[in-house]
Chain A
Amino acid sequence: MLLLVPALIQFFPILYMVSLSFKQGVEVFAFPPTVFPKSLKLNNYDAALKAAPVGRFLVNSLIQATSITLLQVFTAILAAYALARTEFPGKKFFLVIILATMMVPGEVIIIPNYLTLAKLGWLDTYAGLVVPFGASGFGVFLLYQFFKSIPKELEEAARVDGASRLRFLFQIMVPLSMPAVVAFAVYAFVSAWNQYLWPLVVTQSTEMQTAQIGIGMFRAENEANSWGMIMAATTLLIAPSIALFLATQKQFVQGITMSGLKG
């Protein structure tokens, strides 16, 4: 019961956003503010969709976040397996280097990344949005911890049964590590979806811009007078990441807590 209080506090901004997105004209500025709108008219959503290519932003964000997620999950699975289950010279060194990437603030690498992509001609492309985030030190570490807890005999049994390393990895290790993999995928998706600075730097045309930049555009263009419409656009743009979390929250929580216990 006590946990409801912080939960409500956490939830309030989202609730208020949705509420504002339905409010008409001066209702937005009514004092004292009301939590629930008087009506549920969708005209703010109409206006938002007309004012900017919200659909395009959403598609861009979906492509960007989904690609980053798939790439990060794939590279993390391979790297974590190599670190957890194979012996090779310099293994500890590589593990430390991968962990060290978690300590580097993202802002630091923006300029070198930008220069590299400019040379490659990848500015204002999906590749420019996605490839720099193709691997995640956090993901490698999370899955590494989880993979280490899977009994070695399972791999030996699979080898005697005739499974190759890759087949064992994708048919046995990954299915058994689903909570961790899903937790990491959700985390990767939401972080990618919420990226602002990098997409702002690397995209120039409206066709390539993502949802977060779109929200920024609304604010800049509409000054202070159409909060209803801004909130309608914002609601549309953050809905996918909330929906994803709601859909996978069970695995997400399981993955985080299990990997924590076994770390």
Chain B
Amino acid sequence: MAGIELQNVRKDFGTLSVIKGVDLEIHPGEFVVFVGPSGCGKSTLLRMVAGLETVTSGTIRIGDRIVNDVSPKERGVAMVFQNYALYPHMTVADNIGFSLKLSRVPKAEIKKRVEETARVLRIVELLPKKPGQLSGGQKQRVAMGRAMIRNPKVFLFDEPLSNLDAQLRIQMRSEIALLHRRVGATVIYVTHDQVEAMTLADRIVVLHAGHIEQVGAPLDVYRNPQTQFVASFIGTPPMNFVPAQRFPAASLPTKWNGSLKTVGFRAEKTAIGKSDGLVPIGNGRVRLVEPLGLRALVHVELGDQELVTEIDTLDAPSPDSEVPLGVAPADLFYFDQSGRSLGAPL
């Protein structure tokens, strides 16, 4: 177990700046998820921690050692790749034991530890097979075994579940969580799927265009997004945003004067109907109703905007009907011109 510390880490590819100064401290044993849209630099940052990309400037520390110029194998990290990266010509047992073989562990010991690891992952019967004969989920387990067997200080996962089908993804997700609880190692996990981020992480790091937008516990990030980007990225469906001038001036707090630009509200907090406690947003036309089971997503066209509300399926209006939308004042988020949160209105 080791902590990781990034200090003003930058990465340039030629003139293109991909990571624009990242500071982050990860505590020993913590499960941290890097989340962000594709191209935000989350994989690059992970690969820099792994030692697969050089650091343009800044320092990366694992434990109390600066590892900028340390080769991947000396860093004590293990990585699980999106496409598994199993060695196709070796059996599953050889794949899992490869790193031990490289560090000249005696054969009998390798065999013992491979079997142990396989038992934990419930893949003992796969040991003599080649990766080509395995399903996606099985391959992912083998890749995890290959990472686990070295008892690394740090586990790095690079979108490990994105090649699996939805059902398997949910199953593997909970297995990764259990695995973390069992081995207790520090984990950095990269994903673009915010559900994965919310369910797995001790802390979420939301990345956007090469810098950190927000770091925090999943629910904190969900409840108090510091920027409009985070507000739209964390939570499904994404938060609704409406220009502040759409609202009757009396219904908005006045303390920010002109700097209030955009008002946001989550779909599940958006009500259909009028009542005294609600700030009215306006009347819109129902374009689409997506029943999810107990709840339904209702897409409402309001002027040139489409807003989404989540309500009980039984209460869903019929398409093309006209409905009033409203939100409780406490459920509004306020953002300035640059998309920064203005904080609570009181």
Q: Are A153 and B102 in contact (CB under 8 A)?
A: no
Q: Are B71 and A154 in contact (CB under 8 A)?
A: no
Q: Are A176 and B102 in contact (CB under 8 A)?
A: no
Q: Do A162 and B103 contact each other (CB < 8 Å), given the known contacts A172-B87, A175-B89, A176-B89?
A: yes
Q: Are B99 and A153 in contact (CB under 8 A)?
A: no
Cα–Cα distance between A151 and B87 once the two chains are bound (Å): 10
Choose the segment among B13-21, B77-85, B167-175, B302-310 that binds chain A (4+ C-beta atoms closer than 8 Å): B77-85
Q: Do A151 and B71 contact each other (CB < 8 Å), given the known contacts A159-B52, A160-B78, A162-B102?
A: no
Number of residues on chain B facing chain A (CB within 8 A)? 24
Cα–Cα distance between A161 and B145 once the two chains are bound (Å): 12
Check if A256 is an interface residue, CB within 8 A of chain B: no
Check if A167 is an interface residue, CB within 8 A of chain B: yes
Check if B146 is an interface residue, CB within 8 A of chain A: yes
Check if A163 is an interface residue, CB within 8 A of chain B: yes
Main secondary structure of the interface of A (DSSP, over half): helix
Cα–Cα distance between A160 and B88 once the two chains are bound (Å): 17
Check if B122 is an interface residue, CB within 8 A of chain A: no
Q: Are A160 and B50 in contact (CB under 8 A)?
A: yes
Report which of A154, A156, A161 forms a contact with B102, defined as CB distance below 8 A: A161
Cα–Cα distance between A157 and B52 once the two chains are bound (Å): 10
Q: Do A159 and B87 contact each other (CB < 8 Å), given the known contacts A153-B81, A167-B102?
A: no
Cα–Cα distance between A36 and B23 once the two chains are bound (Å): 85
* A-B complex: 8 closest residue pairs judged by Cβ atoms: A162-B73, A153-B85, A161-B99, A157-B85, A162-B102, A160-B72, A175-B89, A160-B79
* Further contacts, 9 of them, CB under 8 A, given A159-B52, A160-B79, A162-B103: A154-B87, A156-B85, A157-B79, A158-B87, A160-B77, A172-B87, A175-B89, A176-B87, A176-B88
Q: Can you report 19 A-B residue pairs in the complex whose CB atoms are below 8 A from each other?
A: A151-B85, A156-B47, A156-B52, A156-B72, A156-B81, A157-B86, A158-B87, A159-B71, A160-B52, A160-B77, A160-B79, A161-B150, A162-B73, A162-B99, A162-B102, A163-B73, A175-B89, A176-B87, A176-B89
